[in-house]
Amino acid sequence: MTGRSEGFITAFLEHDEDTCIESVSKRIKTGEKPSAILDDIREATANAGQKFESGEYSVADLMMAGENLNQVMEVLKPAFGENKPESRGKIVIGTVEGDIHDIGKNIVVVLLEAEGFEVIDLGVNQPPEVFIDAIKEHRPIVVSLSGLLTEAIHSMKITIDEICRAGLRNDVKIIIGGGRTNEEAREYTGADDWADDAISGIRKIKKLAETE
């Protein structure tokens, strides 16, 4: 049994978390394929992103959508059992040394997981060696360096410089993200791309991962 749920998408966009969870739970119980439910979740998050880009959603709205998505995915994940959707690749993400902000990063993590990526979240205030170790261990296709403070831009440059010294720069694409990032910061740090909000970050990560 499969079917598209306009009700779920509407509830998601209206931040009605209880209705979203109830909808997903019912669809799982009736035997609907988890992949079909995931398609609706992806559409809902895409619509949320469009609302943010058009100015209809505020940052607070985007944060609520991210939290709603997190709760919904917790309900859906067990339904896949051993037949989990094929991973679109690994993404390493973390807030750089000297910065402890993680709201934007956490939204990106949830949205990437909804898109089918395997995300390794390193947390906040992470020195270059943590990113280097994660690259060696997980072999990601993209590394995302996050930070909100102006000082974080310099930490991003140091991290990328160390990744270069470790001989790993050609193995990964690197994107920097945060409210202070721009094209000048990208050039300064040596990153492949930049994003100053979660939605553009998702789009650019997908492009760097060559999945779009």
- How far apart (Å, rounded) are the C-alpha atoms in residues 90 and 191? 18
- Asked if pLDDT for residue 3 goes beyond 60, the answer is no
Q: Does residue 176 share a domain with residue 114?
A: yes
Q: Are 124 and 95 in contact (CB under 8 A)?
A: yes
Q: What is the CATH number of the domain that holds 174?
A: 3.40.50.280
Q: Are 69 and 43 in contact (CB under 8 A)?
A: no
The reported pLDDT for the residue numbered 79 is 83
Question: Domain boundary at 80, 107, 132, which?
Answer: 80
- How far apart (Å, rounded) are the C-alpha atoms in residues 164 and 170? 8
Q: Does residue 199 share a domain with residue 158?
A: yes
Say how many residues make up the chain: 212
Does the pTM surpass 0.85? The reply is no
The reported pLDDT for the residue numbered 85 is 61
3-state secondary structure of 90: strand
Q: Which two tokens stand for residue 94?
A: 């973390």
Question: Domain boundary at 25, 54, 80, which?
Answer: 80
Question: Is 161 part of any domain?
Answer: yes
Question: Domain boundary at 53, 80, 107, which?
Answer: 80
What's the structural domain count of the chain?
2
Q: Does residue 136 share a domain with residue 39?
A: no
Q: Which residues pair with 45 in a beta bridge?
A: none
| Parent domain of 64 | 6-80
Q: Does residue 52 share a domain with residue 98?
A: no
Question: Is 85 part of any domain?
Answer: no
Q: Does residue 95 share a domain with residue 74?
A: no
33-54: pLDDT as tens digits: 887 888 888 788 878 878 887 8
Question: Is 72 part of any domain?
Answer: yes
Q: Does residue 124 share a domain with residue 25?
A: no
Long-range contact pairs involving 7-10 (C-beta distance under 8 Å, separation at least 24):
8/40, 8/41, 8/44, 9/40, 9/43, 9/44, 9/47
Mean pLDDT across the stretch 125-135?
Answer: 98
9-28: pLDDT as tens digits: 999 999 999 999 999 999 99
Q: What is the CATH number of the domain that holds 12?
A: 1.10.1240.10
Q: Does residue 105 share a domain with residue 53?
A: no
- How far apart (Å, rounded) are the C-alpha atoms in residues 176 and 160? 10
